[in-house]
Structure 1
Amino acid sequence: MKKTLFFLLISSICFSQSKNSIDAINKIPFQDRIKNASLLEATFLKNATDAYKINYQLGLAESYANLSLVYYYQGKYEKDLYYSLKAISLFEKNNEKEKLAKEYGELGYRIKKRNLLKAQIFMQRGMKIAQKNNFEKPLLGIYNNYGVLKEMQNELDSALFFYKKGLILKEKVNDKLGIPYSLNNIAGVYVMRKQYNEAIKLYNEALSIRKQIKDNVGVAENLSYFGDLYFAQKNYQKAISYYQKTVHDALQFNYIDLIQYSYKKLSECYELLGQPDLAFSNFKKYSEYKDLILNKETNAKIAELDVKYESNKKEKQLLQQEIEAKNSRNKLIAVSVLALFIGLIGFLIYRQQKLKNKQQEQEYELKSAISQIETQNKLHEQRLSISRDLHDNIGAQLTFVISSIDNLKFGNKITDTKINNQLTKISDFTKATIIELRDTIWAMNTSEFAFDDLRSRIFNFIEKAKSAKEDIDFKFAIDNKLKDIKLSSLVGINIYRTIQEAINNAVKYSDGNEILVNIYKQNNDIKIDVTDNGKGFDIENTNFGNGLYNMKKRIEEINGTFKIDSQTNKGTTISFSLNNK
């Protein structure tokens, strides 16, 4: 029955993009929009083509807006951003202020995890337009979604204010689809404030409405909220059951945001329950889905929109100044007497020249800004080109070396133990080189990344060390306070390489059976300790090799401090710290 309704609605959409057809699409249940995203994509692309042929600007803009939403559901975030920007440009050009306000608000909400600052700017633009023109419909979503941004910034009072403001509007118009969002968001703030009884009431009310309107994706979201509630109460087993239900439902609709969030929370639950294997397997799944959300070109696209928006704004201001200047000049000419005519002409020429100079200065600044952006884009393209060459050429050649060594060993049945061992060493060294090459490419392609990304890399390295040295007990601990800290690619790769070298030194030289890696926050510093319980050494009477020297140099390059503490038969600790102000 549900599919029949969907196809009837699709067939009713003509290229004219009438209001009724758009409303019909908006009434399709969320899960059906996701399942039938390909059909919707084809329909809106055809609508856009037909509207373009007859120069129907509004129909074209609405098609772009709907396409951006379809691509967002599919997890195609670059296309989502591209078509949303095109829709905004056309709505603004055609003075469709209500639709412009709505699109700004929706775009801001959809990019919140990729660029929170720009998300806030876009949503404020949409809110300002809607409030100024008393547009109630766009504000239904904008108030609620702006509250989400405030909650992400831990401004809970502001978040609660906007959530309740949005709920009042939705209840006024009986918006059954939107009311659960507001109820859940208000409940989320109550959870953060440990007002659990109030939160449960609102979650149950939202879940009841979503079941009533058969919003199955909304029901999946509500299950994750119950998981968050029990997680906050440290009832991790019950939280796990809800997150697992959420993953099961979200996978049916390919709801990427919800899938990756649930895997991350499952990893945290298992880690807190002392089950590292399950924590690691869920964290790997979270990382896979997280990569689908991150888009390296997103910030560049957002910056491009900003430049266009600000340039248009300046052009309008210059035009307004010229109009005012002409009116002023006409009035002066009309009331001036012949005796002042020559002086007036001189004054007007001077004024016009001043405006011209000012305009030239602004044009020069604009050209400089555009040139700087083009230079940054070229540098980014060069970095991508170099990383591709490293991966495709050097990576392939190293793989060929490994394959050739393996073929040589097993194809020729080499009996000489020394030759066989030497070939094995060359193969192992080549494999290690490939891993370091991949790490270098990873750092080159990322201008900045969170500590979560670094944690995943360290975790993988330690897992490989465990399999290579089963007689050593490896332990890895990282402070949860660090997970949202951003690092530049230079800082991140230097920290990672130093930890690698410290672990390798402990494995090779300590003769210990336990190695601990501890990363934590102390005041404004990030502290990292790599400790073994091995034989240690006398610092005063030992010549440090290249490994220790290189570690010290790496940390000093990123303005950190490096320290070695070792005592004979009492083990060694390599410590380094970075200021995080």
Structure 2
Amino acid sequence: MCVNLSFTQNYSKEKFDRVLYYLSESSNPEHNLEEKKELVLKAKDLAFDMNSYSLLLQCNQKLLELDKEMGHSGSFLKLSHENLQLAEKFKDTTTIAQINKNLGYYYFDKQVDSAHFYNHRAEKLFKQLNDHYNTAAVLLDIALLQRGAKDYTGSELTSIEGIMLLNKIKKPTKEVIQKKAFFYNNLGVVFNGLEQYDKSIEYQNKSIELKLRLKGNNKAAIDFSKNNLGNVLKNAGQYELALKTLGEVLEDETLENESPEFYAIVLDNYAHTLYLSNDRDALPGLYHKALKASKAAGIDGYNSIIIFQHLAEYSNDLGLKDSAKYYGYEAKRIAEKYYNDALLKSLLLLSKIEEGEVAANHLRNYVRLNDSLQKSERAIRNKFTRIKFETNEIEEENIRIARERMWLLVISIVVIVASILLYIIFTQRNKNKKLEFIQQQQQTNEEIYNLLLAQNEVVEDARALEKKRISEELHDGVLGKLFGARLSLDSLNTNTSPEAMKTRSQYIAELKMIEEDIRKVSHELNADFVSGSGFRGIIKTLVETQTVAYGLEYKLEWQSTIDWDEVSNKIKIHFYRIIQEALHNIYKHANASKVNLVFKLENNAVCLSIIDDGVGFDVSRTKSGIGLKNMTSRIKEIQGKIDIISKKIEGGTTVNIDVPIS
């Protein structure tokens, strides 16, 4: 019975509780069997509405138990096949195997080929589950079916396989030991049929030994094996040991009343052993007593046939033809209803008792029936082989289909994964190409800027040289001449007339003024101011160009205390590139409308602040961006520091950069 509950979307706690209530009430002894069945049927209807696999199995199992108690065997097949369909739907291999095992047991004495079919299916499934015990249990039924078809070799091999499986169970239970004893008993019967009596005796003794190890009252099972052992010893001609073994069973005074059918079998074996050993004093009394016990059991069957055959054999030996014929024909009459093997023996026995044409007719019937039985047994064995082959073929086909589905699934997954990988690769390749293009563009821009700076430096150097030349010309040439003229005037200042002195003084003052103007111009021409003002112009041009392109308003502030002439070109280049990258990032990510750039000098370090009014971002998650990496790399190269302040909720981003200039 399944105990794991499964529910679908139709699950309802109220329905579930009602199902459990009905199942619980169905075990209440206050209800009769019909009432119990009605409760289980209500539970089953609810379980069907809930689409609960395990609850349906429980309900059907309970119905099977109740029908068995009520003696209704007709519902077994219907409920079993219903459970089988459910289990196959939910791929419950354990339940499928168990149901096939039960169906094999059901058909065991009804339809041999069906029993064989379901047993082989159960065997395969239990082997897949690595369930040694249940596999062995199914193999025992198969071995018994093979023995019934006189496939003794097949039954022997199947029994040995079952025993080997049971030997793999490390801690054998009572059930495991019992099954092993049954296998040994079957081997004993098989080798008895093959007339290999020594092996048969060996296996029967092993069966008895195992049964003696079991706890509890196992006397009936032990007596059963002892009767089989006694029968083999009788066939082997070990009459004394056979009588001792069978006598141990007959010592039980309660056996005749408690199990008259088994008592009749043992007593007949005991009497027949006496007959074969020529100890006939107790005969035919023991035969008649066995026949009486068999009839008391109410069974006019196989056991009565054997007793009648033994009585016919005994009477014929004594020359009591009428009695021999009576017993012989009684055995034949019963055997004609059911038992072909027993009928075969009866015909052979009558062919020996009768005379003339009657005996010949019985012998012909014996030969005809024997041929028919051999063909039938051969056909059954072939059918068993075919069923096993077809079952294996079905299993192999299922395995092949499952393998094909698995490969289809694997191939589909591989194709999907490969497609995703190719997409990622192509996407990444395009991104890499884009990044390479951007980097190349940045390098090109940097090279252009460097060329501009280099060209500007060349121009400025030319200007400086030209200014220096002009300054030198003014200073050394013009100023020298003016200075000489002034000295001449000074020398003429000996004229002490008031007018002369006044005129000379005016000239001298005017010359001094000219000298001072020329000196001032010379110093201004010689001063290197273009470098600093040139960098500011380049930055201003960059900011104006970029903000116009990006649609931004800008404000550029310079602190006058910064002496850009003291700042290296390397630092200036990196400042240029950082501002360019920052403006690009603001345009691309910030969604800003204004940007302020402020240059100032603090602690002998040039500080640049870039402030926007954009949406802001999470600094901790964006530090790995390409733009920020480039900015950080540049600042690190000039031994600077960068600090980014941004708030995603409030908006706005401030980038502070400090670069020492010495």
Q: For the superposition of Structure 1 and Structure 2, which TM-score range results when normalised by the shorter chain?
A: 0.3 to 0.5
Structure number with the bigger relative contact order (C-alpha 8 A, sep ≥ 6) is 1
Q: With structure 2 as the length reference, what TM-score do the two structures score?
A: 0.37
Larger radius of gyration: 2
TM-score (norm 1): 0.42
